[in-house]
Amino acid sequence: MKALQLTQYGAIDKSIAFAEIAVPQPKSNQVLIKVHSAAINPIDYHLIEGSVKQVIKLDFPTTLGLDLSGTVTKVGTGVTNFAEGDEVYTRVPSESPGTFAEYIAVDSNVVAKKPHNIGFEASSSIPLVGLTTVQALAQAQIKSGDKILIHAGSGGVGSFAIQYAKTKGAYVYTTTSTKNVDWVKKLGADRVIDYTKENYLEIVKDADIVYDTLGDKYTEDAFQVIKQGGKVISIVGKIDDQTAKEFGLNSFIRFLLALKRRKITKLSRKKKAYYRMVIMQPNAQQLNEISTLVEKEAIKPVIDKVFSFDQAKEALLYQKSGRAKGKIILKVL
């Protein structure tokens, strides 16, 4: 079968190549999935460049890709919740990627049946951004009436998060550029801030939650706009000690991480705020919950562009450019 593999850490155009490899066979409790579509995510080029190798270590060569939608073609022993022909989607574990291929064997406990009202391309766009948002906002204990700031509302995560926060009854602030203002409003955001003309720090006051999708200074500035006792949930900021413990990092590494987040700790204490950096984990039950929202049309997938499998390098470079409005999809089948 054809697979896109990482051969070394480095630049996208020099570190990946297509290869012909054997079709995997499902082990106990696994399903073999024929991949129809796979989504491109920022984590993909970070894996290629090696910027997350301290947290996610890969061997070479490794087939890339984390999101997919496809059809079950074989089930391993012990699998009772799927059968051949089932249309499914999943976000596979970061330490075992492989969705940029014609087939992949996946543990059945991270797989869910895809929403019946959308196709493979649309459903493949959901798992990573959906699970990331569901888990992040669960940490924030989001509830009806909360005011939340979601950065980068036109991006893959942001476009999903706006819709999801509205299903929880929240009031949503978001940021985007001039060309995307009207489009982001249609996603349901209550106050769209054009960052080319407006300063969100002057507009957002006493927010209950900031969903930080940008990191760096945006993480620090989040504490300016939350209320006393508010919550800052980041997916790209400094790793907090609870998350570090959950990932089994030793005491020395945790000490170094504590030094790196000193400013965040100081800002958090000043506001009596809750800060957490969420690292998403695959979860079939949450995918089923997302499917229900999609089937009710409370959430609609947002796709910027679909590339053929042969155009995978171009798709990854386009993702890195930061120009995408919504998700980027590889059509494998």
Distance CA 290, CA 180 (A): 25
Token pair 């300016």 is at which residue?
A: 224
Q: What are the DSSP E strand ranges found in the chain?
A: 2-6, 16-20, 30-40, 62-63, 67-75, 87-91, 103-107, 111-113, 147-150, 171-176, 191-194, 207-212, 226-234, 274-277, 303-308, 327-331
Q: Which portions of the chain are predicted below pLDDT 70?
A: none
Angle between helices 156-167 and 127-139 (to 10 degrees): 50
d(C-alpha 86, C-alpha 36), whole Å: 13
What is the predicted pLDDT for the residue at 221?
96
Of 29, 25, 92, nearest to 64 by C-alpha is: 92
Q: What is the pLDDT of residue 254?
A: 85
Dihedral of CA atoms 116, 187, 44, 306 in degrees, nearest 10, equals 60
Residues 176-204: tens digit of each pLDDT: 999 999 999 999 999 999 999 999 999 99
Q: What integer pLDDT is reported at residue 245 of this predicted model?
A: 81
Tokens 């049946």 locate to 113
Beta strand pairing call for 226-234 and 274-277: parallel
Interacting residues of 240 by C-beta distance below 8 A, sequence separation 6+ = 261, 275, 276, 277
Query: Domains in the chain, please, with CATH?
Result: 2-126+301-331 (3.90.180.10), 129-277 (3.40.50.720)
Token pair in block for residue 225: 């706009």
